[in-house]
């Protein structure tokens, strides 16, 4: 006999509470394992495809591992050095860009620097707020996972965890399926399969969109002749999965650099702005609809809310799990809506379909 709904709700609520407490208490410790699990989850379809071609699970895992190492070494030798040099140069040139911006503003907008002007007071207040936030951010970063030891540990543990999880992925899923409550097994399987479909569509689709846009921005900006074009394209592509933020940050950074590098050459500045305009048009009208699709169910506002809430509660690990949790909650919301529409509470006693 199935447990009453009240007791089921209590047990599932306790499980959710335990999950939240563990995430909050062990966030930094769980980071490499969450990253490794995410990588294994994304690569598992490739391993399954290799198995259908006659490979064993061990052979498929070994093939993927060797291929990933070759790609990593190629990136390490070709792309990463240029990217690192450009990022370092960009950081070094920012103070000079700030001084040039101050000189430009002093020449064309002298009211900004008048002590009694409202504009000066507003800008001073904003600058003080940003400075205090920047100090807090640097302190939190310096005391968290950005130390050299933690980075090295991360680079070592994540691949190892990913390889072991990939090797045993199907067995783990089968074991979890065996542990499902018998009375609720069909419903849980259905919901889990819908969540899996949403995650695969979103992660693989948005990953492809980020790769295409990042490559396009980097190549196009370097062809225009913009300094640090590779670094700007990398940044813009990396955060494209956050709606509008990738184009906003990348576009503002690229146009700002173009203004200082090409001042007076309005054609080059217009080309830089046009590159991001074309990228946004392509993303909104072609890439995202074709590669991600409208059936994923992760609305941009819902995604931004999940990233903000989980990031504030659980830090960087929270941002990593925000997308799968948002997808799961979206599927659960649709399931509960279906149940509500079929219930007496919605249909009433007089409806012919009411039980």
Contact 195, 328 (CB under 8 A): yes
Angle value at C-alpha 33, between 143 and 215, nearest 5 degrees: 85
Q: Which of 23-37, 125-139, 264-278, 296-310 has the lowest mean pLDDT?
A: 125-139
Question: Considering the entire predicted model, what is its pTM?
Answer: 0.64
Quick one: pLDDT band at residue 144, thresholds 50, 70, 90?
Answer: very low
Most trustworthy range by pLDDT among 105-109, 144-148, 260-264: 260-264
Q: What is the mean pLDDT of the chain?
A: 75
**Highest-confidence segment of 56-70, 109-123, 231-245, 312-326:** 56-70
State the pLDDT at residue 4: 67
Cα separation, 3 vs 104, whole angstroms: 72
Q: Dig out the tokens for 297 from the structure.
A: 């169910």
Q: Which residues contact 145 (CB under 8 A, 6 or more apart)?
A: 28, 31, 151, 154, 316
Q: Is the pLDDT of residue 93 over 70?
A: no
Average pLDDT over residues 71-91: 69
Residue found by looking up tokens 């400075």 in the block: 131
CB 162 within 8 A of CB 40: yes
Query: Rounded distance, CA 70 to CA 222, Å?
Result: 26
């Amino acid at each position: 006999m199935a447990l009453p709904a009240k007791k089921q709700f209590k047990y599932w609520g306790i499980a959710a509470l335990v999950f939240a407490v563990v995430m909050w208490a062990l966030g930094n410790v769980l980071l490499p394992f969450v990253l490794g699990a995410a990588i294994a989850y994304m690569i598992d379809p490739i391993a399954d495809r290799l198995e259908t071609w006659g490979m064993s699970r061990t052979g498929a895992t070994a093939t993927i591992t060797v291929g990933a190492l070759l790609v990593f070494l190629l990136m390490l030798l070709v792309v990463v050095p240029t990217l690192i040099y450009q990022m370092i140069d960009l950081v070094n040139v920012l103070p000079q860009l700030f001084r040039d911006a101050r000189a430009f503003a002093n020449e064309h907008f002298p009211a900004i620097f008048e002590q009694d002007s409202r504009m000066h007071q507003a800008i001073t207040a904003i600058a003080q707020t940003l400075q205090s936030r920047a100090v807090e951010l640097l302190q939190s970063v310096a005391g968290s996972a950005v130390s050299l030891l933690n980075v090295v540990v991360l680079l070592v543990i994540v691949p190892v965890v990913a390889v072991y999880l990939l090797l045993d992925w199907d067995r783990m899923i089968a074991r979890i399926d065996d542990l499902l409550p018998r009375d609720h097994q069909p419903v849980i399987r259905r919901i889990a399969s819908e969540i899996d479909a949403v995650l695969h569509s979103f992660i693989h689709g948005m990953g492809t969109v980020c790769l295409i846009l990042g490559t396009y921005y980097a190549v196009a900006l370097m062809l225009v002749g913009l300094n640090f074009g590779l670094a700007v394209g990398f940044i813009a592509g990396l955060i494209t999965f956050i709606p509008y933020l990738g184009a906003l940050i990348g576009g503002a950074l690229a146009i700002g650099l173009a203004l200082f590098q090409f001042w007076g050459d309005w054609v080059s500045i217009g080309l830089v702005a046009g590159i991001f305009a074309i990228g946004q048009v392509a993303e909104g009208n072609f890439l995202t609809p074709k590669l991600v699709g409208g059936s994923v169910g992760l609305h941009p506002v819902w995604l931004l809310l999940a990233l903000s809430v989980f990031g504030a509660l659980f830090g960087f690990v929270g941002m990593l799990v925000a997308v799968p949790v948002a997808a799961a909650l979206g599927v659960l919301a649709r399931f509960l809506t279906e149940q509500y529409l079929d219930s007496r509470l919605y249909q009433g006693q007089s409806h012919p379909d009411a039980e």
